[in-house]
Amino acid sequence: MNDKDMDIVARNAILLLVAFQFDPKVAAPIMLHLWYSSFVPAGLLSFLKKQILPLVQDVCTKIESKPSTVLLSKTWAFDNRTLRLTLRKPSWVSLLSYFDVPEGLSTERAENVRMATTLAPQRKDYVERRLYRHPPGQRVATLKFRHDGILLPFGMPRDKFNTPNPTFFQDKDSWPMRDGADPLAGWFWKDIVKSGTPARNDIYGHLSAHLYDTLLRFCQTCRRIEVKVGVFQVDILELPGLIGTPSEKPQQGFDRIEVSNVVDVHWGGTNRVLDSFSPLLRSPTQNPHATLVALYLNAVQETSTMADKVTSMAEEMELVQKYLPINLQALQLNRNTNPDILMFITAREMFRDFDGIFKRYMVEHDFETITKAAGLTLKDKHTIIPKWPMHLGRKATQEEFDQLLRSAHDGSERYVEWKRVV
């Protein structure tokens, strides 16, 4: 695991220490609220200070005389589970602060600081546009989360969640995320709705139940198998040099490498990422199923032209009307004041055929040459995740349409899988 952002690295390290050290039924709720709740019970934070903080303090004491520019590693072992954290000295010292609420930050102040972002008056139009896509019951649940930021079922008491979560609040004067940041955006709605409360519109209650079950299974699995996790805070293109290739360290070859969306052109770019990470992937003789997975979040939007939007307009409008019964004639008469026009435009884009657009992107960025140069080949049939997991097919159900329309996604998210040639 790797990220340049210390907030993310610190949270990952603390979550893993909790998962590896404590009984799964103790660890799961702690992980859930550290990960997603803006406020946590005071007892939870005290527990972490007593059980986890000393592990970090011990490292900081031992590296006091070390230079600030050198990467320093510490490995913690818990039976069959090990966590190796590699940071520079300033980051090790910084990690201590993620266990303490910033001085001068009261609960009331933290609430106001957060809501100045999540309920900013200048963003009212954006919030209401998003809410308009939801049924009334879900609008209430969404607004409640924007107000308190605590991931619990709707009617559950929140009085014990009275301490700002220091893994979020590192500054007494600012909230670190955008106003639209939503935990629902990170999970598939089909999985979310399988869990949770009988209250159909309690979407955050469903999510909290799904996350608890997922985290509990993760912790239980970690106790059944041997688990070794390494966490780094470096530029992603530096990471392969720190890990070592299979030819240098045979035990370091990977069966799966996920590089997230760093392949997008404004991050690492496909060429540099494949060139850096392909040597880490196991060869077909070692594992014929070894796969490198990448996510292209922006490729379709960056490549799409006005011609793409106009050419498919008639077909998209016909498809939308099957799922969104709107009187188009009436809509045209008062399009400047009718909010349905915004929902209709959003829904139209969800049915766009993105395949041709992404193929142009692949040609423009010379996928064939850079894939071959990296010793890889594109997997035509994906085995890890569908190419377009969010995209609506021509035979989408009404529920699939409704859920995508309400989500933070538009269906243009494209995954690509590669495997080694030799």
**Residue 77 is inside which H or E element, if any?**
strand 71-78
Where does the pLDDT of residue 15 fall: very low under 50, low under 70, confident under 90, or very high at 90 and above? very high
Other Cβ atoms less than 10 A from the Cβ of 192: the count is 20
Q: What is the dihedral of CA 190, 194, 199, 203, to 10 degrees?
A: -40
Confidence of residue 193 (pLDDT cuts 50, 70, 90): confident
pLDDT band at 287 (very low <50, low <70, confident <90, very high): very high
Residue 313: pLDDT band (50, 70, 90) is confident
Distance separating alpha carbons of residues 146 and 179, to the nearest angstrom: 9
Q: Among 43-47, 202-206, 305-309, 332-336, name the one with the lowest average pLDDT.
A: 332-336
pTM of model > 0.85:
yes
Start-to-end Cα distance in the chain: 26
pLDDT of 211-230, one tens digit each? 999 999 999 999 999 999 99
Output the pLDDT for position 415: 97
Task: Give the confidence band of 309 by pLDDT, cuts at 50, 70, 90.
Answer: confident
Q: What does the pLDDT look like over 127-179, one tens digit per residue? A: 998 899 999 999 999 999 999 999 999 999 999 999 999 999 999 999 999 99
Asked if the model's pLDDT at residue 251 lies above 70, the reply is no
Say whether pLDDT at 17 is over 60: yes
- Tokens linked to 163: 């301490």
Longest dimension (CA), the chain: 75
Position 244 pLDDT exceeds 80: no
pLDDT value, residue 196:
64
Q: Tell how far CA 295 is from the center of its chain.
A: 12
Burial class of residue 259 (count of CB atoms within 10 Å of its CB; 0-12, 13-18, 19+): buried
